[in-house]
């Protein structure tokens, strides 16, 4: 179990739950960083008495600096630089990467270069630059312990079973529009898209779960985390969200991790691994389950999932382009400037427009990310 951790994205859904787990377990939090929720950042600063706090949004950063004037707390600069300083803050054993989007990539690499454990909740880091990130972790001796419920489940199922894996069974609920046709989803509103049937999450990831892009991102993330090919991962729709994922071993044995849909469980495990501690989460009552169902995804009704799986097979900078274009498109959808079905259409267009790079450098990936965002801005606003 670690005894101190930085939290990047401390005011978001995963960040807040990470803070609650740290408070309950008595884990010190020497640095916190978020986007613009100054009120909550100040409350967290009061709770944890950190050495360092930053807000990425410039106006929020000014408000934070003024509110903490005279306090023995360093207020970092806005933007990515503030996150990077937090990720490298001296004395921390772990960094929870709970920011959303590609902005988490450089801070995660900074934490890796510092040899910290990464409690990874920022899936875009591996989606965009998985080969670079995993290679850096191996070279620096940094542990990457996944926080996503699915990857945490796979991580737990594979413990002590190196070399025995045949395939990963990656589960997903199917979101609120499971079974809907493209005609039916054409009029979906942001309010409908963020109402996930099983999980309480932030707006962006909730929309990604509705379009099934999130499962596609997790597909790519699992490839890098567990060193497997696309053909060694099968996506299964599992509406009950009880089996968080499973693995099939070479002898045909299937091992699954079950639990209530509560992100506090994988967050806590990432911080206490390889040990376990009592949690505050509800216990799973198997006798209360009406049943567990599994089905193959309908790729025609889930084009974002199909698109992501295609990017996984293409490799190169394809996933970075897809992830950035999707992030920009979802932002437009949440702002009511893009239709729900246009999320897929715009991401597909960006992939067709931006040059493919088979073996991208980190700079190539970041440039591809910027180009994808600019393409969405130019063509859909």
Q: How confident is the model at residue 381 (pLDDT cuts 50, 70, 90)?
A: confident
Q: How confident is the model at residue 100 (pLDDT cuts 50, 70, 90)?
A: confident
Q: How confident is the model at residue 223 (pLDDT cuts 50, 70, 90)?
A: very high
Please give the share of the chain, as a percent, with pLDDT higher than 70. 99
Q: Over 90: is that where the pLDDT of 196 sits?
A: no
| pTM exceeding the 0.85 threshold for the entire prediction | yes
Please give the share of the chain, as a percent, with pLDDT higher than 90. 94
Task: Identify the residue whose tokens are 């002898």.
Answer: 251
Q: Which of 344, 354, 343, 346 minimizes the C-alpha distance to 314?
A: 354
Average pLDDT for 260-265: 94
Q: Whole-angstrom Cα distance, residue 29 to residue 141?
A: 22
Q: How confident is the model at residue 346 (pLDDT cuts 50, 70, 90)?
A: very high
> Tens digit of pLDDT for each residue in 205-214?
899 999 999 9
What element of type H or E holds 135? Answer: helix 123-140
- The pLDDT score that the predictor gives to residue 378 is 96
Gap between the terminal Cα atoms of the chain:
48
303: CB partners within 8 A, 6+ apart? 182, 344, 348
Average pLDDT for 4-29: 97
Average pLDDT for 219-235: 97
Ranges of H-type helices in 297-361: 303-314, 318-334, 340-353
> Tens digit of pLDDT for each residue in 38-90?
999 999 999 999 999 999 999 999 999 999 999 999 999 999 999 999 999 99
The mean of the pLDDT values for the chain is 96
The C-alpha R_g of the chain, in whole angstroms, comes to: 20
Q: How far is CA 186 from CA 97, 125, 177, 182, 369, in A?
A: 34, 30, 11, 6, 27
Which residue(s) pair with 256 in the sheet? 246
């Amino acid at each position: 179990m670690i005894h101190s951790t930085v939290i990047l994205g401390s005011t978001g859904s995963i960040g807040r739950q990470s803070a609650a787990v740290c408070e309950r377990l008595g884990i010190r939090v020497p640095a916190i960083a978020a986007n613009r929720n100054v009120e909550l950042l100040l409350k967290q600063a009061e709770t944890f008495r950190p050495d360092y706090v930053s807000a990425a949004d410039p106006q929020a950063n000014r408000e934070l600096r003024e509110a903490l004037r005279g306090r023995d707390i360093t207020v970092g600069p806005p933007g990515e630089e503030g996150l990077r300083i937090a990720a490298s803050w001296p004395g921390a054993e772990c960094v929870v990467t709970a920011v959303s989007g590609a902005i988490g990539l450089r801070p995660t690499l900074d934490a890796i270069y510092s040899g910290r454990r990464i409690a990874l909740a920022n899936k875009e880091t591996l989606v965009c630059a998985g080969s670079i990130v995993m290679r850096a972790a191996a070279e620096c001796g940094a542990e990457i312990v996944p926080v996503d419920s699915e990857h945490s489940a796979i991580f737990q199922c594979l413990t002590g079973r190196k070399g025995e894996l045949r395939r990963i069974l990656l589960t997903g609920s199917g979101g609120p529009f499971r079974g809907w046709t493209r005609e039916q989803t054409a009029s979906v509103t942001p309010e409908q898209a963020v109402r996930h049937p099983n999980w309480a999450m932030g707006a962006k990831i909730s929309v990604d779960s509705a379009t099934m892009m999130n499962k596609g991102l997790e597909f790519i993330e699992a490839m890098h985390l567990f060193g497997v090919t696309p053909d060694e991962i099968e996506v299964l729709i599992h509406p009950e969200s009880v089996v968080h994922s499973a693995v099939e071993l070479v002898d045909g044995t299937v091992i699954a991790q079950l639990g209530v849909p509560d992100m506090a469980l994988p967050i806590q495990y990432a911080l206490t691994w390889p040990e376990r501690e009592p949690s505050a989460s509800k216990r799973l009552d198997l006798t209360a389950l009406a049943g567990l169902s599994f089905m193959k995804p309908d790729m025609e009704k889930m084009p974002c999932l199909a698109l992501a799986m295609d990017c996984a097979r293409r490799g190169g900078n394809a996933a970075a382009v897809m992830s950035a274009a999707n992030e920009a498109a979802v932002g437009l959808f949440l702002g009511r400037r893009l239709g729900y079905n246009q999320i897929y259409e715009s991401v597909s267009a960006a992939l067709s427009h931006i040059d493919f790079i088979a073996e991208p450098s980190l700079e190539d990936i970041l440039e591809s990310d910027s180009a994808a965002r600019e393409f969405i801005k130019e063509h859909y606003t």
